């Protein structure tokens, strides 16, 4: 049996709780309260380090093993989320089309809402067809911040070249 471990990471948006095991990262959730950071288990260290680089603006993609648990359709949608480039957005209809059925945008939205690995599986990059920010388990203020953060660093890289 695999032992699940957890760690906490302070971000500009509050604390994240990261859970996982030697099999990979299982969950990343924003917390709405403060925690006292503890020892970081070695299996979670790469995730914490890469999240730090992301929030610092020096990482645009993640190289981590994920241990995602969900239905076949949820896994398909989450896999499609991983393909959305840093600093860009797609609509729920686009996401549903990428997952195989543009008419299933509500189902794609439901899978997006149940994404267990916030930030790394970038569900925040999905917006309404009208361009408005809708639906984010971490809250719309956090979604807006993440999109503005990525936009700022992707624009910097376009102007100066990758640093």
Rounded distance between C-alpha atoms, residue 157 and residue 98, angstroms = 27
Longest Cα–Cα distance of the chain, Å, equals 49
Six-digit token pair at 104? 């299933």
Q: Catalytic annotation on 47?
A: no
Could you tell me if 64 and 25 are in contact, meaning their C-beta atoms sit under 8 angstroms apart?
yes
Pick the catalytic residue from 108, 123, 127, 146.
Answer: 123
Cα(37)–Cα(7) distance, integer angstroms: 7
| 118 in Cβ contact with 30 (< 8 Å) | yes
Dist. CA 92–CA 71, nearest whole Å: 18
Residues annotated as catalytic are 123
């Amino acid at each position: 049996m695999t032992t699940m471990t957890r760690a906490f990471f302070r971000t500009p948006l509050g604390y994240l709780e990261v859970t996982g095991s030697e099999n990979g990262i299982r969950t990343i959730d924003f917390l709405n309260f403060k925690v006292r950071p503890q020892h970081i288990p070695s299996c979670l260290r790469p995730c914490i380090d890469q999240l730090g680089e992301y929030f610092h603006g020096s990482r645009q993609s993640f190289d981590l093993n994920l241990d995602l648990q969900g239905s076949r359709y949820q896994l398909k949608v989450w896999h499609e989320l991983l393909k959305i480039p840093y600093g860009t957005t797609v609509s729920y209809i686009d996401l549903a089309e990428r997952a195989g059925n543009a008419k299933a945008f509500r189902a794609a939205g439901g899978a997006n809402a149940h994404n267990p690995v916030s930030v790394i599986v970038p569900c925040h990059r999905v917006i309404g067809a009208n361009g408005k920010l809708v639906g984010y388990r971490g809250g719309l203020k956090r979604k807006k911040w993440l999109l503005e953060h990525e936009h700022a660093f992707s624009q910097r890289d376009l102007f100066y070249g990758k640093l």
